[in-house]
Amino acid sequence: MLKNVKLFIVCSICALLFGGKTAWAGTDQLPKADGNILTIAVAWKQTAAEYRALYHQGFNLATQKVKDALRNGKSGGKPLAVLTDLDDTLLLPLNYWGALIESGKDFFDDALWDSWIAKYEMIPSPGALEFLNYCKDNGVEIYYVTNRDQGEDTYNLALESLKRLGFPYADEDHLTVLIETSNKEDAQKSVAEKFDVVCCLGDSLNDFKRAYYVKDIDERIALMENDKALFGDKFIIFPNPTDGHWIRAVFGESEPPANDENRQKFKEAAMKNKSKP
């Protein structure tokens, strides 16, 4: 009887520690803690003042860029505009990530994301509304370009999301939603034909230039390094440790399936640089 009680207690502790993923227990290749490889990244997004400070830093830089452009006057007679991504740049999906962790999932979940988007629980990133309204008050137009795919409702969901949060220029002239492709270049070019683009805002390199859309990790880093002078200048980048095209470089796709092979790939990515024992 006492033996059974002890066994029950041990099993209960294991279930708590591993969140039901008991297949991981006993292997030396798998993460410890609660067994969820996303936990640290999501905990940082949810709690770190540093995470929020990086948004203020980005929008402070962007505001300074706009002020300088306004002071210098229109170049080539074109009006000023700012190009921006939506998710994880202006909008933070913190409730989605919290729900994902609570449900025990350890990779991005498209079905959960699609149903969550329709709840309109995105919140503005710190400093976003102040920056966008500063632009609007000074006659600088905002062009929103996003990749999303929630089927035929995609566009309306994205537009409504901007409207509900009171974002300026939330209309069909200023919002481009790319469903079939993540290539933002055509949309960027069409804005640049009519406007002097002060800066681009994004959380993924692809938000700035399609040339960064490569799968090799080192090539991707090298391409960014070649353009290092542009960051904090024409390109204002925001932090995203949970998803984006850096994930594509690790797994070969942006939304890899949740399986042990991919969990191992994540572990190998974490050991890309390491001391010799």
- Which positions lie near Mg ion, rule CB under 5 A? 85, 87-88, 203
Spatial neighbors of 230 by CB under 8 A, at least 6 apart, are 208
Smallest distance, Mg ion to C-beta of residue 254, A: 11
Smallest distance, Mg ion to C-beta of residue 66, A: 21
Smallest distance, Mg ion to C-beta of residue 204, A: 6
Q: Which of 131, 108, 122, 127 is nearest to 162 (CA)?
A: 122
- Looking at beta carbons only, is 69 or 205 nearer to Mg ion? 205
- Looking at beta carbons only, is 69 or 142 nearer to Mg ion? 142
Smallest distance, Mg ion to C-beta of residue 81, A: 19
- Looking at beta carbons only, is 18 or 213 nearer to Mg ion? 213
Q: Which of 257, 261, 244, 164 is nearest to 207 (CA)?
A: 244
Element (H, E) at 96: helix 94-102
- Looking at beta carbons only, is 65 or 245 nearer to Mg ion? 245
> What is the distance between the alpha carbons of residues 138 and 114, in angstroms, rounded to a whole number?
35
Smallest distance, Mg ion to C-beta of residue 131, A: 16
- Looking at beta carbons only, is 107 or 144 nearer to Mg ion? 144
| Residue in this structure with the two tokens 């292997």, named with its chain if needed | 27
- H-only helix segments in the chain: 2-18, 39-47, 49-72, 94-102, 110-117, 128-137, 154-164, 185-194, 217-226, 245-251, 260-270
Token digits of residue 199: 């800066």
